[in-house]
Amino acid sequence: MRGIWTTDHIRQAEERLLAGTLEGALMRRAAHGVAIQAAAMLDEHAGAVAGRSAVLLVGAGNNGGDALWAGAFLRKRGVGVAAVLLAPEKAHTQGLAALKRSGGRVLSVEESPQWIASADLVVDGIVGIAARGPLRPDAAALVDHIAAPVLAVDLPSGVEPDTGAVEGPAVSANRTVTFGARKPVHVLNPERCGDVVLVDIGLSGELGEPDLFQLDVADVAAAWPMPGPSDDKYTQGVTGVAAGSATYPGAAVLASGSAVHATSGMVRYAGTSADVVRWHWPEIVATGSITDAGKVQAWVAGPGIGTGREGKDVLAAALGKGVPVCADADAITIIAHQPDVLDARDPGTPLVLTPHDGEFARLTGSPPGPDRVGAVRAAADRFNAVVLLKGHCTIVADPDGRVLVNAARGSWLATAGSGDVLSGLVGALLAAGLDPWLAAGVAADVHARAGQLGADGVPVSAAGVLAAIPDAVRQVRALKP
Ligand SMILES: NC(=O)C1=CN([C@@H]2O[C@H](COP(=O)(O)OP(=O)(O)OC[C@H]3O[C@@H](n4cnc5c(N)ncnc54)[C@H](O)[C@@H]3O)[C@@H](O)[C@H]2O)[C@@H](O)CC1
Ligand SMILES: [K+]
């Protein structure tokens, strides 16, 4: 699992590291990493390094210092380097001296726009981990002139380092070079960061426990249930699906079909769509109600069940079974409006809630807001449940405080019924006995892969995502190192 650290923790770690390091050494290490990536980008986008031009946007702090030192290194490779100083009196003294010594120039206010517009590469050293809020107007005006690819130092300026939120003008980078550890912005707003390159500055020994996690493909591969020689259909976990209604039979077909595709264990269906479910998935044992369904190891409850009396009874029955439950869609609305339904649950039994933003607002009384991680963590604590917040980047919080961010793979999953497919995956992994937080994260990962594979460059339906689940699992197993 990859760790991600908040800026507070990075600062504390940096302070400990700085205490035992020669002054300036860390910055030069960081800047050297920036220069290597800048040269690579010039080569990629402008066909050469020597003779090409880079403009540095330099803010008031060490982030600007990194950019200035990187400029000095680029000069040694024959790059024409010019710096725009946003706060000339506060520009990093040694970095500025190094740039000037190397033959780099400092631009006047008047000449900056023209130079920025015609550069082969722009290096964003406006602000780093001390950033608060969007770009200020002077910086925003300069950024508007950029036509070239952008390399961000540590993070794209104007994007909140700890939340990835953009609440005004901000840089969009093609690549971001970060130092020592990934920060939340890199996983919460990958679009603004572009490719993220991590440069080792010797920080890892000082970091401590991560604040966020991201699954590696190896984690997903290791967690995905595979039948062993002594397994039968029951030992791999039986998934129960309570979904669908006369109005929404499709939700039942998608959620139960997804569970069928996820593992080779057994799937039971309970609800009013039993006939249509059997017709689509003959391998499912379908009954009319949870009471008649037989033994299952985890229930998916909610997609398409409606939010009235009957829906509430279905959810209460699932929660009362003493096995893990993934409550999705209508089940979330029921919990939001009638929280007493949760009384049916033994608090020690895992519950996974999978809201999108609207359902999250209904559930908690307010939308997730710019700090999505904080909001999901609080909801997990409040409901004593794993909460998976759907979105471009899916966030999964455990009541114990662990948070996982799932990498987006395009927007293919923004299609009707795609959530039903996700809930089936979560249910199947819960039934297989995975830790509920991991089950939700692994399901989100394979769901995103299935979206990407099912789409293959053109829009995909939820049924197409569902059909691509085996390919997604195959991909995970093939990519595992
Ligand atoms: N501390 C260290 O050991 C290292 C730090 N490094 C660099 O240092 C950076 C952090 O440097 P600093 O702490 O000096 O701070 P920054 O360079 O991130 O910010 C400098 C100042 O900009 C101002 N500012 C905040 N928000 C702004 C906004 N929206 N628009 C304009 N100005 C804004 C603030 O006054 C802030 O103090 C890191 O991101 C990284 O690039 C690297 O050199 C690696 C080593
Ligand atoms: K920056």
The model's pLDDT over 389-425, given as tens digits with 9 standing for 90+, comes to: 999 899 999 999 999 999 888 888 888 899 999 999 9
Quick: pLDDT tens for 258-268.
Answer: 999 999 899 99
Quick: pLDDT tens for 441-465.
Answer: 999 999 999 999 999 999 999 999 9
Q: Which residues does a 6 A CB cutoff place in the pocket of ligand 1? A: 14, 18, 26-27, 30, 59-64, 66, 127-133, 135-136, 139, 153-154, 179, 201
Quick: pLDDT tens for 305-332.
Answer: 999 999 999 999 999 999 999 999 999 9
Question: What residue's CA is closest to ligand 1, atom 33?
Answer: 131
Average pLDDT over residues 179-207: 95
Whole-complex ipTM:
0.97
Residue 436 to residue 385: CA distance in whole angstroms: 9
What is the number of domains present in the chain? 2
Question: What residue's CA is closest to ligand 1, atom 37?
Answer: 130
Are residues 142 and 274 located together in one domain of the fold?
no
- Tell me which ligand sits closest to the C-alpha of residue 63: 1
Residue 435 to residue 457: CA distance in whole angstroms: 33
Structure pTM?
0.95
**Tell me, what's the pLDDT at 18?**
87
Are residues 139 and 161 located together in one domain of the fold?
yes
Are residues 191 and 238 located together in one domain of the fold?
no
Question: What residue's CA is closest to ligand 1, atom 25?
Answer: 131
Residue 47 sits at φ, ψ, to 5 deg, of 80, -5
Q: The tokens of 327 are what?
A: 């409550």
Quick: pLDDT tens for 204-260.
Answer: 899 999 999 999 999 999 999 999 999 888 888 999 999 999 899 999 999 999 999
- Tell me which ligand sits closest to the C-alpha of residue 134: 1
CATH of the domain at 94: 3.40.50.10260
**Tell me, what's the pLDDT at 415?**
86
Are residues 129 and 203 located together in one domain of the fold?
yes
Q: The tokens of 415 are what?
A: 């299609």
108 in a labelled binding site: no
200 CA distance to ligand 1 middle (Å): 18
Residue 83 to residue 56: CA distance in whole angstroms: 5
Q: What is the largest CA-CA distance in the chain?
A: 81
Last residue of a domain, one of 212, 227, 251: 212
Print the domain residue range for 438: 217-479
SS3 168: coil
- Tell me which ligand sits closest to the C-alpha of residue 131: 1
202 CA distance to ligand 2 middle (Å): 20
Mean pLDDT lowest for which of 21-30, 109-118, 205-214? 21-30
